[in-house]
Structure 1
Amino acid sequence: MALPDLDTSVGHSFGLEVDGVAIKQISEVSGLKMEQDVIELKQNTNDGKYMIKKLPGRPKAGEVTLTRGLTGDNSFEKWVKDAHFGKMASARKGGAIIVYDYEGNAIKRYKLTNAWPKSLEIGSLKAGDTSVLTEKLVITYEQMEVE
């Protein structure tokens, strides 16, 4: 169910879906953006004035960082291993970052094309620390579309 025009979404409920497998335990998503090059056209007008016109260029690829609590789920590690050993045919995947409403219905999907894991970072291990141990997965993608 879509949100009414005057309501905004609360950013507490989101997840990752890769090849039809949903991972809803994501605690943070950062760096998700659509960007493109800007082309500057420098020219003179008919009356001789100098002007710069900015035109849209090629879309840029992007990166997104996902953070979640460390669990026994090793799906991130398997995906990273494929990319690390050059098995790009199986490492490049289609997926989406999904934002859910308070009832758990998907309200926005950020579709990622040809995404693959660039790095996996495990949080600091400290003796006696009581904070949650996390893992950060950086995913690079060739294109993003909003659905």
Structure 2
Amino acid sequence: MAIYPANPQRLDPYKNFKFRLKWDGQFVAAISKMSSLKRTTEVVEFRSGGDQSTSYKSPGRQKYEAITLERGLTQDMSFHDWAGRVWSIGSGLGSEVSLANMRKDIYLEFYNEAGQLVMAYKIYRCWVSEYHAMPDLDANANAVAIEMIKLENEGWERDTAVVEPKDTTLTSVAT
């Protein structure tokens, strides 16, 4: 049985450069790179005691890989503040970690070339396991300063309420 796309006019795959992330109800500024959403299922191998030559395989635990976000260094403190919820240097003994509010659900929106929302993902119970506040600095370089966070997560799912939009058509203007 063949599966046809919702929009049979679109033959080209989507490009990977139009996306936005939202947490705490707001879009996060200047994110330029995000690692892939990756899920792995462990394989459980077993044998029957009476069958010496055959092993069987079944699915085991699900594992969701950490997600890395990079963005140009700005005055926006959202990466810094979130990383500080996991471990805050200088806090009093017993209050260095805030387990109550260190996790966030994030929402990934993915757009086509025309800027139309074409798919979205909900990523659950994220927390910052690594934070790079400043990149390597080099007086001879000519590059954007990048800050980075690594987010552990407990799973993600596609938001099926987001459907493929109808492609826009350009009309030529008669002169």
**TM-score band w.r.t. shorter chain:** 0.7 to 0.9
Q: Which moved more, 1:103-112 or 1:114-123?
A: 103-112
**Rg larger for:** 2
Give the number of equivalent residue pairs. 144
Q: Which residue of 2 aligns with 1:98?
A: 109
Q: Choose between structure 1 and 2: higher strand proportion.
A: 1
Alignment of 1:12-91 (within 5 A): 12-23=17-28, 25-43=30-48, 50-84=53-87, 85-91=96-102
Q: Choose between structure 1 and 2: higher helix proportion.
A: 1
Superposition RMSD in Å? 2.2
Percent identical residues: 31
1:38–1:119 Cα change, 3 Å: same
139, 147, 152: which is aligned to 1:127? 139
- Which structure 1 segments of 5+ residues have no match? none
Report how far residue 24 of structure 1 moved. Answer: 5.3
Report how far residue 50 of structure 1 moved. Answer: 2.7
Q: Which residue of 2 aligns with 1:6?
A: 11
For 2:146 and 2:112, locate their aligned partners in 1 and report how far apart those are by CA, in whole Å.
Answer: 25
For 2:40 and 2:102, locate their aligned partners in 1 and report how far apart those are by CA, in whole Å.
Answer: 24
- Which structure 2 segments of 5+ residues have no match? 1-5, 88-95, 160-175
Residue identity in the other structure for 1:110: Y
